[in-house]
């Protein structure tokens, strides 16, 4: 009889183990299209600053995570409704949000900027009078626009996702949009028809969050521990530079060579001939251009 009971326990143990592992999986929600923080690449996988940071934190703390990308507003609501455990979505840490979220130490300081199509260069808030400005719902950019809309006499149109907002600008349904500066800069570097002609507004810093008073508040402590380690060892800065490198152009010589530093140990040298169009260099690539650097 004891042997039969032992055999049953041995059969059931893997099933129970699977159930425990599944229960311990941390469900983290994020935005849908918020490059360079999170976006779907050509291979249909999500990538970006937030994705890399949370994966690194999970590696350091031994978390088993499941990431989903319903959109910013939906992500906030999912955590508040208990449908998700945490949010990592370029969420600005504010006193208002800390009433309902327990938030981590910050990992990125951001600004919001007005952007337009290249053919419609708005360079001051005064030029927004009588116009419509698009912004994502529930964001720091929306809160800032709400504080100045009456003064400058423009209308705000909100969107659930960045893609919908950008498409509306392209179609002419809005005259301008406001979003985080690195997001707009990334889109410009990817060739989108966007232009920034105004200084940005410092609105705060991004943080990881869980529902205030939930059983997941310990995740914030663990996130902070991992983040402190990443700041100390330089891995946080490496992730940020990987995705936020701005571009410059080299145009003045026949050949341009440069070095790209991936880390203190790894450097790769590149050389490209400048024929009809310039090459684009990220901010951590140092161009050294010479007419007769090499011969064909």
**C-beta atoms surrounding 238 within 10 Å:** 15
Quick one: tokens of 265?
């140990």
Quick one: tokens of 20?
């425990």
Residue-level pLDDT at 162: 87
Structurally, at CATH architecture level, domain 110-204 sits in 3-Layer(aba) Sandwich (3.40)
What's the burial of 224, exposed, middle or buried (CB within 10 Å: 0-12/13-18/19+)? middle
| pLDDT category of residue 253 using cuts at 50, 70 and 90 | very low
- Using the CB atoms, write b or e for 201-215: b if 16+ within 10 Å: bebbbbbbbbbeebe
Quick one: tokens of 10?
């041995």
How far CA 191 is from CA of 88, 114, 275, in Å, comes to: 27, 17, 20
Question: Any idea which fold 26-107+207-244 has?
Answer: D-Maltodextrin-Binding Protein; domain 2 (3.40.190)
What's the burial of 163, exposed, middle or buried (CB within 10 Å: 0-12/13-18/19+)? middle
- The angle, 0 to 180 degrees and rounded to 10, between the axes of the packed helices 181-189 and 235-244 is 50
Does an H or E element contain 196, and which? Answer: strand 195-196
Q: Where are the domains of the chain?
A: 26-107+207-244, 110-204
Residue-level pLDDT at 24: 86
Q: At 43, give phi and psi (nearest 5°).
A: -85, 10
pLDDT tens by residue, 133-155: 999 998 999 999 999 999 999 99
Q: Quick check: 269 pLDDT over 80? A: no
**DSSP assignment letter at 214:** S
Mean pLDDT of 4-9: 48
pTM for the full predicted model = 0.69
Residue-level pLDDT at 33: 87
Domains 26-107+207-244 and 110-204 share a fold: yes
């Amino acid at each position: 009889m004891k042997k039969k009971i032992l055999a049953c326990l041995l059969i059931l143990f893997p099933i129970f183990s699977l159930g425990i592992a599944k229960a311990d999986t941390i469900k983290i929600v994020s935005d849908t299209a918020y490059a360079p923080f999170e976006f779907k690449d050509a291979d249909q996988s999500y990538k970006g600053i937030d994705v890399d940071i949370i994966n690194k934190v999970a590696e350091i703390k031994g978390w088993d995570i499941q990431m989903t990308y319903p959109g910013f507003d939906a992500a906030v609501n999912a955590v508040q409704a208990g449908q998700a455990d945490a949010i990592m979505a370029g969420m600005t840490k504010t006193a208002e949000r800390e009433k309902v979220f327990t938030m981590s130490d910050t990992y990125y300081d951001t600004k919001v900027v007005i952007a337009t199509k290249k053919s419609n260069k708005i360079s001051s808030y005064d030029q927004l009078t009588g116009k419509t400005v698009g912004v994502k719902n529930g964001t720091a950019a929306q809160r800032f626009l709400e504080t100045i809309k009456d003064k400058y006499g423009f209308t705000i149109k909100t969107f659930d996702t960045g893609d919908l907002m950008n498409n509306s600008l392209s179609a002419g349904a809005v005259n301008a949009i406001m979003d985080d500066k690195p997001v707009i800069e990334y889109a410009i570097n990817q060739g989108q028809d966007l232009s920034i002609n105004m200084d940005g507004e410092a609105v705060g810093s991004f943080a990881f969050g869980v529902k205030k008073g939930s059983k997941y508040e310990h995740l914030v402590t663990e996130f902070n521990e991992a983040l402190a380690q990443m700041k100390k060892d330089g891995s946080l800065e490496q992730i940020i530079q990987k995705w936020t490198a701005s571009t410059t152009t080299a145009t003045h010589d026949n050949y341009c060579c440069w070095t790209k530093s991936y880390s203190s140990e790894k450097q790769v040298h590149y050389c490209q001939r400048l024929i009809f169009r310039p090459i684009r260099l990220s901010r951590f690539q140092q161009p050294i251009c010479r007419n007769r650097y090499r011969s064909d």
